[in-house]
């Protein structure tokens, strides 16, 4: 069939060609192998070298892992069972996993951190997945108080009194906003809440406690340890550093000189100092600055320092996102008459945060892994506990198995965060570019 | 000359210029650093006027209309919009901005919100309109710009012309009394220019006060009651369209017109 009328010079196509299948060498596994592994002499050599290296590593580590001993009471017993062969001694994990998880938390109270962990999953679910009922957010808001009470124990009235501070603030806001403008009312509300927390919350809760006793056994901070400690510091740090980072990033871009100077000063100072010095400050120096007699919980101090540290990095990541937005977005928001806070909340931040997701999650992961640094100020995170476990004569000399276990646990958390961030990026993708 | 093909005769029954002053600009000056962008601008816009501002690039025409809703700050002189003077007082600025609609060259739709959300956002958050009512208003204006079926899509899924019409609808949802257009068709393919101009003509027919920075001289001839020519930050010449195009006075205007209409 001729469709090109070769005899006439002006050309008009009168039949359209149908689609045809590509040649077989251009599709499927064959093509993939050729393109990716054997496309040139150099690539063939690299492929062979890589396969060789992988085989070599598996040959050496494989038997060590396959020969693992899971049932023994000491390293010596492990070696006896192995009888000279190479093999891992994961019995140490079986023997000491509860320490790696909970530190020296009283073993009869393990249900409390476990319950707190389960509730944490419930609390963060509505924040992570927007398909869940929105009412669950109320539980997420209450969760920090529930978790505090479960983990540290003591009187239930204390967390209730702290929650009461929010009610006091809200009441003050409602009362004052009838009399004055909303900004003054807001300032009054914050002051009222602070007055409540600093001077009134403690006496009120102890008075209520003596009237109606509602308490569970208290556990001191020094007994906390293991992954429980890492998760407490990590999750609190993550939850607090994001809002603080956003405020710092906005502050750095602010037109108000004082706010800008404070933000820049804070960010540059914190970024310029190693985290470990901040932690030492938290553990040693802070006590000199506080009034004598006040004891300020060490875990709380560490959380504050870790949060400040991560917030400075977070601020810079978010500033990058803000800078990446076209100026037209700011102008369109202005032109519609949105004020600064509404423009930020509805237009600018949703887009800037979306752009910054990889950087934000990167900072989260960094923060979570940095919690292992608390070992240097005497807190027993998993690394600190591995030293404690080795100090026992039964397990003296065991390194790899403990570190592999700790590494795997951290990897699960960090990989989970990274996967979630990719899911979130896909879900928020609306630009269809 | 770029011909504007009209589907229908323009209905001039509602295009009436009243005596009421919508915008008054007196001796306004603006500098970018050392550069004097706008020099002694004096201008009065009456309600119902349709003004086209043209001029070579860098002549300050965009800057002028951006001063009217204070996307740019002027350094001296006076701008009064609907009786409200623009000063550094944020309350006045927000008031003016919610009364004055603006359409940009690059549309500036919010890419993270659907078309409907783009249109309801300002009515809900600035005007405190209940969501349901805001959605009805939005659908009304989306029907007007002839894209109600796109309401649940995101801006990235629409063509340039459709996006610009959404941007116009988004401004209209605030029920503005004055509309500013900053080169609304410059970023569009020729095929899409007409659909946007049609929307703008329809708006003019309803008696909207409009200031358009544009190079669409066909549009100027069809609906404008005044054409302003700017050069080097000054208003060089202004006249009603017929006179402006057929009988330009200054040499600068003649040169400009010969350049854009010559081919």
DSSP labels for chain B?
------SS----SS----SSEEEEEEEEEEEETTEEEEEEEEEEEETT-EEEEE-STTSSHHHHHHHHTTSS--SEEEEEETTEE-SS-HHHHHHHHHHEEEE-TT----TTS-HHHHHHHHHHHTS---HHHHHHHHHHHHHHTT-GGGTTS-GGGS-HHHHHHHHHHHHHTT--SEEEEESTTTTS-HHHHHHHHHHHHHHHHTT-EEEEE---HHHHHHH-SEEEEEETTEEEEEE-HHHHHHS--SHHHHHHHHHHH--
Chain A residue with minimum CA distance to B66? A335
User: In angstroms, what separates the C-alpha of B140 from chain A's closest C-alpha?
Assistant: 18
CATH of domain A95-105+221-428: 1.10.3720.10
CA distance A333 to A322: 14
Q: Give B135's pLDDT tier (boundaries 50, 70, 90).
A: very high
Q: Percentage of chain A with pLDDT > 70? A: 96
List residues of chain B with CB under 8 Å from any CB of chain A. 69, 71, 90, 94-95, 97-98, 100-102, 104, 106, 108-112, 121-122, 125-126, 154, 156-157, 170-171, 174
CA distance B22 to B45: 6
Region A386-392: mean pLDDT is 88
Q: What is the pLDDT of residues A106-144, one digit of tens each?
A: 989 999 999 999 999 999 998 888 888 888 889 999 999
A331, B122: Cβ pair inside 8 Å? no
CA angle A408, A411, A417 (to 5 degrees): 150
Q: What is the pLDDT of residues A294-315, one digit of tens each?
A: 667 888 889 989 999 999 999 9
Residue B1 pLDDT > 50, yes or no? no
Q: What is the pLDDT of residues A342-380, one digit of tens each?
A: 999 999 999 999 999 999 999 999 999 999 998 888 888
Give the A:B interface size as CB pairs under 8 Å: 70
CA distance A10 to A220: 93
Residue A31 pLDDT > 90, yes or no? no
Domains of chain B: 21-262 (3.40.50.300)
Residue A69 pLDDT > 50, yes or no? yes
Q: Give A293's pLDDT tier (boundaries 50, 70, 90).
A: low
User: Considering only CB atoms, which chain B residues are within 8 Å of A351?
Assistant: 110-112
User: Considering only CB atoms, which chain B residues are within 8 Å of A326?
Assistant: 106, 108
Q: What is the pLDDT of residues B10-37, one digit of tens each?
A: 888 888 888 899 999 999 999 999 999 9
Instruction: Please count the helices (runs of H) and the strands (runs of E) in chain A.
Output: 19, 2
B126, A328: Cβ pair inside 8 Å? no
Give the model's pLDDT for residue A286. 72
Name the DSSP letter for residue A291.
P
A338, B126: Cβ pair inside 8 Å? yes
Higher pLDDT, A322 or A211: A322
CA distance A198 to A191: 10
Where do the domains of chain A lie?
27-94, 95-105+221-428, 154-216
CA angle B109, B113, B117 (to 5 degrees): 90
Residue B99 pLDDT > 80, yes or no? yes
The count of other CB atoms within 10 Å of the CB of residue A190 is 13
Region A227-250: mean pLDDT is 94
- Predicted TM-score (pTM) of the model is 0.85
Give the model's pLDDT for residue A27. 74
Give the model's pLDDT for residue A379. 87
Give the model's pLDDT for residue B263. 52
Q: Looking at A225-229, B117-121, B188-192, which range is the least confident one?
A: B188-192
Residue B140 pLDDT > 60, yes or no? yes
- B97 burial type by CB count under 10 A (0-12 exposed, 13-18 middle, 19+ buried): buried
Region A62-91: mean pLDDT is 86
A354, B106: Cβ pair inside 8 Å? no
Q: Percentage of chain B with pLDDT > 70? A: 97
Region B94-111: mean pLDDT is 92
Give the model's pLDDT for residue A295. 67
A431, B104: Cβ pair inside 8 Å? no
Higher pLDDT, B43 or A82: B43
Give the model's pLDDT for residue B262. 65
Question: What ipTM does the predicted assembly reach?
Answer: 0.91
Q: What is the pLDDT of residues A259-275, one digit of tens each?
A: 999 999 999 999 999 99
CA angle A269, A275, A279 (to 5 degrees): 110
- B17 burial type by CB count under 10 A (0-12 exposed, 13-18 middle, 19+ buried): middle
Higher pLDDT, A238 or A215: A238
Q: Provide the mean pLDDT of chain B.
A: 90
């Amino acid at each position: 069939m001729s469709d090109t009328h070769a005899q006439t010079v002006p050309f008009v196509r009168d039949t359209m060609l149908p689609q045809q299948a590509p040649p077989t060498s251009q599709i499927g596994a064959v093509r993939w192998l050729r393109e990716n592994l054997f496309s040139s002499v150099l690539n063939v050599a690299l492929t062979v070298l890589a396969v060789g290296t992988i085989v070599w590593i598996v040959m050496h580590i494989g038997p060590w892992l396959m020969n693992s001993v899971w049932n023994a009471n000491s390293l010596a017993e492990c070696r006896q069972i192995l009888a000279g062969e190479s093999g891992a001694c994961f019995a140490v994990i079986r023997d000491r996993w509860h320490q790696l998880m909970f530190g020296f938390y009283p073993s009869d109270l393990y249900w409390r951190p476990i319950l707190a962990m389960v509730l944490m999953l419930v609390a963060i679910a509505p924040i992570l997945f927007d398909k869940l009922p929105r009412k669950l957010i109320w539980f997420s808001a209450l969760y920090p108080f529930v978790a505090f009470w479960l983990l540290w124990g003591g009187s239930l009235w204390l967390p209730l009194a702290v929650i009461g501070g929010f009610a006091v603030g809200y009441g003050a806001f409602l009362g004052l906003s009838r009399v004055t403008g909303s900004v003054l009312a807001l300032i009054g509300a914050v002051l009222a809440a602070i007055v409540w927390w600093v001077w009134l919350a403690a006496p009120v809760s102890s008075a209520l406690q003596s009237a109606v006793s509602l308490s569970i056994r208290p556990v001191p901070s020094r007994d906390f340890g293991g992954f429980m400690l890492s998760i407490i510091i990590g999750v609190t740090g993550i939850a607090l550093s994001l809002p603080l980072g956003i405020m710092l990033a906005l502050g750095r871009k602010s037109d108000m000189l004082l706010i800008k100077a404070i933000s820049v000063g804070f960010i540059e100072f914190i970024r310029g100092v190693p985290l470990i010095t901040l932690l030492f400050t938290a553990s040693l120096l802070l006590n000199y600055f506080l009034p004598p007699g006040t004891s300020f919980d060490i875990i709380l101090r560490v959380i504050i320092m870790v949060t400040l540290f991560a917030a400075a990095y977070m601020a810079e990541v978010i500033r990058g996102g803000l800078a990446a937005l076209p100026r037209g977005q700011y102008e369109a928001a202005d032109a519609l008459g949105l004020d600064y806070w509404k423009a930020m909340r509805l237009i600018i931040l949703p887009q800037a945060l979306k752009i910054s997701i990889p950087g934000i999650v990167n900072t989260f992961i960094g923060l979570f892994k940095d919690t292992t640094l608390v070992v240097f100020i005497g807190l027993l995170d998993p690394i600190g506990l591995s030293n404690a476990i080795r100090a026992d004569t039964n397990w003296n000399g065991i390194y790899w198995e403990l570190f592999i276990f700790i590494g795997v646990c951290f990897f699960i958390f960090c990989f989970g965060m990274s996967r979630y961030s990719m899911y979130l990026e896909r879900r928020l993708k609306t630009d269809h570019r | 000359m770029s011909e504007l093909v009209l589907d229908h005769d323009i209905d001039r029954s509602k295009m009436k210029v009243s005596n009421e002053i919508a915008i008054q600009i007196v001796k306004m000056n603006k500098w970018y650093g050392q550069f004097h962008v706008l020099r002694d601008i004096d201008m009065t816009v009456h309600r119902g006027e349709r003004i086209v501002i043209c001029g070579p690039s860098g002549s300050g025409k965009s800057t002028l209309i951006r001063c009217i809703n204070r996307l740019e700050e002027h350094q001296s002189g006076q701008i009064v919009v609907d009786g409200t003077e623009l000063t550094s007082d944020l309350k006045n600025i927000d008031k003016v901005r919610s009364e004055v609609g603006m359409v940009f060259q690059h549309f500036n739709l919010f890419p993270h919100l659907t078309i409907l959300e783009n249109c309801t956002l300002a009515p809900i958050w600035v005007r405190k309109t209940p969501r349901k009512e805001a959605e009805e208003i939005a659908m009304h204006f989306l029907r007007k710009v002839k894209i109600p079926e796109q309401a649940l899509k995101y801006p990235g899924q629409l063509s340039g012309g459709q996006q610009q019409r959404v941007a116009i609808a988004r401004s209209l949802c605030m029920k503005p009394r004055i509309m500013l257009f900053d080169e609304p068709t410059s970023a569009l393919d020729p095929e899409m220019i007409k659909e946007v101009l049609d929307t703008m003509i329809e708006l003019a027919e309803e008696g909207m006060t409009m200031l358009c920075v544009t190079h669409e001289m066909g549009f100027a001839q069809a609906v404008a009651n005044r054409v302003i020519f700017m050069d080097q930050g000054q208003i060089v010449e202004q006249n009603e369209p017929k006179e402006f195009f057929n009988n330009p006075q200054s040499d600068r205007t003649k040169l400009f017109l010969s350049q854009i209409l010559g081919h």
